[in-house]
Amino acid sequence: MDRRTLIVSGLVTLGATSVARAQQPLPPAAPPPPAGGPPPPGARPDYPAVDEKRTYSRDEIVNNVSDFLGVTAEAAGGAIERIFKENGRPSAYIAGEEASGAITIGARYGRGLLYMKEKQPLEAFWRGPTIGWDLGGNASRVFTLCYNLWYPERLFQRFPGVEGSAYLVGGVGVNYQRADDITLAPIRAGVGLRLGANVGYLAYSRKREWIPV
């Protein structure tokens, strides 16, 4: 009888312990891994993901273009809307002035300041030839949006114009230039605005050069 009592008592104790353990709350789940982990294999470190702190919003660019070029916000917004739809948020911009002229063969010269968030403005110069069915001259302000330009020194090279990319929206002219994975979108407004069917390139440099090649 003592053995049976001992066995039954042990079973009752074991069952009570199991019930108590089942009633204990589970430990909290481990938090998910933080966002922004290491880049996937093959990713290039010089092309970071879009970062709102390092890029410019549509409203910032519309206000700056409107003030700098002296056009209405509506005119600036029409051109900016199209550029943003095709390219997204720019990583930098150049605000400057230029002069150009052509009788089939022409040249363009300019200077301005390169603006990037968290960096000091940097002076830049540009020049280049234009060849094509084009006639006239102009002196204008130019506001250039820059894409995939994360380091200022990568600006200083030749940027060929993208043929057939020129368009006019609300009196504001836009065309694209591209080198490697960097895209520039100059926005122009001024006297004698020329958007003829021209092809050419612009060479950007740290100091002024007069030979347009």
Give this prediction's pTM.
Answer: 0.71
d(CA 93, CA 186): 9
Confidence of residue 7 (pLDDT cuts 50, 70, 90): very low
Residues 6+ apart with CB under 8 A from 208: 111, 125
Look at residue 96 and tell me whether its pLDDT is greater than 60.
yes
d(CA 56, CA 114): 13
Question: Per-residue pLDDT tens for 178-209?
Answer: 999 999 999 988 654 455 445 578 999 999 98
Question: Per-residue pLDDT tens for 128-140?
Answer: 886 654 555 667 8
